[in-house]
Amino acid sequence: MPAVEVHELCKRYGDLVAVDDVSFSADAGEIFAVLGPNGAGKTTTVEIIEGLRRCDGGTVRVLGSDPIAGARALAARVGVMPQGGDLQQGVRVAEALRLFAAFYDDAEDPDALMAELGLDRAARTPYRRLSGGERRRLSLALALVGRPHVAFLDEPTTGMDVEGRATTWDLVRRLRDRGVAVVLTTHLLDEAERVADRVAIMHRGRLVALGTPAELTGSTRQITFTVDGVIDAAALASAIGAAVEHADDRYRISGVDPDPQAVVRLAAWLATAGVTLRRLDVGARSLEDVYLELTGSTSDGE
């Protein structure tokens, strides 16, 4: 049985269909990422799974139970790291974590968890004096102190520095290896591609892609580049005999073997057009490429 199972989920706000017939599942020992731009419906979907909102159609099961009807039984088995939310400003890090640990029969050692997340040096620091990254790490610690079977992590690395992000993702991988089902949202597509076992991409309330990063990116090779200024993509496509797509400041050439000759033709055309090449990438599609194709936008949270 999947740890999380969503079947034909729907949610409406008046005439707005926020979640439209969405189905997926996440297994124990799996990192499952839900991605999508603003208004895609991903946060609403996750909040329904967490039992924070009621759906208007479909079914949701977490560890076999309805997340609202079975909320009391699930409380000790599910950890939630929200995107926002504050603690009492004067509470110290160690105090907060020990308080939350007291709610569970089999909690993590608060001191060990603080050390694992690099919070031991801030153990006596009041919440109001924590940096944004430290607050996010404390929120993660509070979500995990009860040894959850399922962990919901909403933008877990927002506001963290490089070291904090690396520490967080290492911990998330260890959770997966212990058999925890991790359902997360993130706007950092490169991190999702490296960390997630499977990915769901939502757009305008619907599920538009589902699979492993490798399945979604496939084996298609392409050329992507950025330039100073704007070029005539149609003219370039005609000159090199391949499709040219433009999203944000990036151009992508597909339908042509990205060999040295193709790169030379591109460089020669840009030189003739008087355009300076800023960046050139030759290789397989990234998860960001797939995301842009499906949603037409960069991921910036919801």
Q: In this structure, is residue 299 part of a structural domain?
A: no
Looking at residue 288, its pLDDT comes to: 86
Mean pLDDT of 81-104: 92
Inform me whether the pLDDT recorded for 301 exceeds 70.
no
Q: In this structure, is residue 297 part of a structural domain?
A: no
Q: Which residues of 67-95 are buried (b: 16+ CB within 10 A; e: fewer)?
A: beebeeebebbbbbbbbeeebeeeebbbb
Which range has the worst mean pLDDT, 59-68, 144-153, 159-168? Answer: 159-168
Dihedral sign of CA atoms 82, 84, 88, 92 in order = positive
Which residue, of 214, 234, 259, is where some domain finishes?
214
Q: Are residues 149 and 245 in the same domain?
A: no
Residue 302: which pLDDT band, with cuts at 50, 70 and 90?
A: very low
Mean pLDDT of 95-100: 96
Q: What is the pLDDT of residues 189-200, one digit of tens each?
A: 999 999 999 999
Look at 250 and 70; give whichever has higher pLDDT: 70
Q: Domains in the chain: how many in total?
A: 2
Which residue, of 167, 193, 214, is where some domain finishes?
214
Inform me whether the pLDDT recorded for 56 exceeds 60.
yes
Q: In this structure, is residue 293 part of a structural domain?
A: no
Mean pLDDT of 102-106: 94
Q: In this structure, is residue 131 part of a structural domain?
A: yes
Q: Domain containing 268: what range?
A: 219-284
